[in-house]
Amino acid sequence: MPMSEKTEAASETAPPPVELAAPWQPDAEDVEAAEGRGARQGLRRPHRLHQLFSPRRWLQRFVFWGGAIAVAGIAMLFAIGAEHANNLLHFGLAWSPYLPLVLTPLGIALVVAATRRFPGSEGSGIPQTIASLSIADHAERGRLLGLRTVAGKIFLTLIGLASGASVGREGPTVQIGAAIMHAMGRLIRFSRHDMEKGLILAGGAAGVAAAFNTPLAGIVFAIEEMSRSFEERTSGTILTAVIVAGAASLAVLGDYTYFGHTAASFGFGEGWIAVGVCGVAGGLAGGIFSQILVLSSRGLPGRLGTFARERPVAFGAACGLLLAVIGLASGGTTYGTGYHEARKIVESTEALPATYGILKLLASLVSYISGIPGGLFSPSLAVGAGLGANLASVVPYAPAAAVALLGMVAYFAGVVQAPITAFVIVMEMTDNHDMLLPLMATALIATGISRLVCNEPLYRALAVPFLKRSTATPRGRA
């Protein structure tokens, strides 16, 4: 067969690619509506004054602000619940360090079984939010951003944490925030563009701001990671939601830094060797981690993949047993979000095992592959802190605490390939502005190295299966 005919045949049989949302462009309905408004308004200027005092406009604002406050309130309750779940686990560990050998397999198996009753609740929550921006059908979007789905995600994430899983609450909080703002948009009629993109982006950004108590990181994350573009029509929506949610969080929790305070810094000189070392090592480790997750999202290979597909609950129990073994090897430090362990490294208050970083990485990997709900943010930052602690002995030209911060931003940037988000989160969460330039440089180096290993941004790649699932679902089943 001639080469041209082979090419045509292949193009006819190949499935159409699944693409994520491109920057918004007006459709025919938007253009027609805009032209209609222009024709009606003409050169009248009082229209702006009418909008300012319009009861409907103020009702929309109050609903929107109420949604942002609700996001902050649920994020704070979720954070408190996660802390209690972590304390409950460590109470059991004080009774017997071997308890997870029984508790963790049973708990993970239970969560996997329950997750199947809440489709769309598995994993981080950020891929679901990104996928929802590209889904046009309201019913399909509701499957990913339904309040029942996110309620199940909260409950199951807390059970996973109490069982010993190495997961975070920040990714789920992004999905929770997007779902709340999406629901608020359905209560009162917003414009279609605001409903489908602006509100979802704003809700996700408010979730990051409230979860980390870092308003600036919320804005940057929405722009850099979830939308991959910045549009004038959504910028004000995102900024308002972040301000309201961040203010509510600060009013209740205060200016709390989850990873503690450190004044460690270094000037221009030998200390900058640590920037290159941490950037390369963190980017390489983060890229490998991301590539494994991307490949596993498409199906595990061989008999292991068959076992995971045909017996997911038993596979979850096996992952739980492996998590318990990793936890025993780490002295119980790899369970949970990793906040406390990273804080100890940054503030140099307690020495952790030298293998903490690699064991926490393995625990996070196993937790995500098991299929339970839970995020990657805080575990990744904890892995980076452990990596930085290891590298501090290799580059003694900078303070150990400063190298730990560089390790955090390097590994996190390597995982998510969002360098601005990475250094802003670490800077805000440690309240250390003296390290701004080294953190920025490390994040850029790590992102570049990571892209050599994993050529797809993690969350964008993980969003594709949700898009494929939505396009494969018959509309009649909505």
Report pLDDT for 414.
Answer: 95
One-letter amino acid identity for 5?
E
Report pLDDT for 188.
Answer: 67
Report pLDDT for 182.
Answer: 81
Q: Name the β-bridge partners of 123.
A: 373
The whole-number average pLDDT for the span 144-173 is: 90
Outline where 298-355 has alpha helix (H). 302-310, 312-329, 339-347
What helix, strand, coil percent values describe the chain, rounded to 5? 75, 0, 25
Identify whether the C-beta of residue 410 lies closer than 8 Å to the C-beta of residue 384: yes
% of the chain exceeding 90 in pLDDT: 32
Q: Model-level pTM?
A: 0.81
The whole-number average pLDDT for the span 2-14 is: 47
pLDDT band at residue 50 using 50, 70 and 90 as cut-offs: low
Helix/strand/coil for 267: coil
Identify whether the C-beta of residue 112 lies closer than 8 Å to the C-beta of residue 370: yes
Identify which of 70, 67, 68, 66 has the alpha carbon closest to the alpha carbon of residue 78: 70
Structure tokens at 314: 């038993």
Q: Which residue has the tokens 């067969």?
A: 1
Query: How far is 219 from 143, CA to CA, in rounded Å?
Result: 25
Instruction: Count Cα neighbours of 88 within 13 Å in the Cβ-side half-sphere.
Output: 16
Q: What's the pLDDT tens digit per position in 177-188?
A: 888 888 877 776
Identify whether the C-beta of residue 445 lies closer than 8 Å to the C-beta of residue 317: no
Structure tokens at 361: 């990485």
> Running DSSP on this structure, what letter comes out for residue 476?
G
pLDDT band at residue 112 using 50, 70 and 90 as cut-offs: very high
Q: Which residue has the tokens 């699944």?
A: 18
Q: Which residue has the tokens 């899983």?
A: 165
Report pLDDT for 48.
Answer: 56
Query: How far is 5 from 27, CA to CA, in rounded Å?
Result: 36
Looking at per-residue pLDDT, the higher value among 326 and 54 belongs to 326
Report pLDDT for 13.
Answer: 47
Task: Give the DSSP H/E element, type plus range, for residue 5.
Answer: helix 3-13
pLDDT band at residue 215 using 50, 70 and 90 as cut-offs: low
Helix/strand/coil for 262: coil
Q: What's the pLDDT tens digit per position in 273-309?
A: 888 999 999 999 999 999 999 999 888 888 888 999 8
Report pLDDT for 369.
Answer: 94
Report pLDDT for 470.
Answer: 65
Query: How far is 177 from 157, CA to CA, in rounded Å?
Result: 16
Does residue 46 have a pLDDT over 60? no
Looking at per-residue pLDDT, the higher value among 118 and 238 belongs to 118
Does residue 474 have a pLDDT over 60? no
Identify which of 311, 323, 312 has the alpha carbon closest to the alpha carbon of residue 101: 323
Report pLDDT for 205.
Answer: 78
pLDDT band at residue 420 using 50, 70 and 90 as cut-offs: confident
Least confident of 43-47, 209-213, 225-229: 43-47
| Structural domains of the chain ordered from first start | 58-258 (1.10.3080.10), 270-466 (1.10.3080.10)
Q: Which phi and psi (to 5°) does residue 373 adopt?
A: -70, 150
One-letter amino acid identity for 9?
A
Q: Where are the beta strands (DSSP E) in 306-426?
A: none
Does residue 30 have a pLDDT over 80? no
Looking at per-residue pLDDT, the higher value among 464 and 6 belongs to 464
Report pLDDT for 213.
Answer: 65
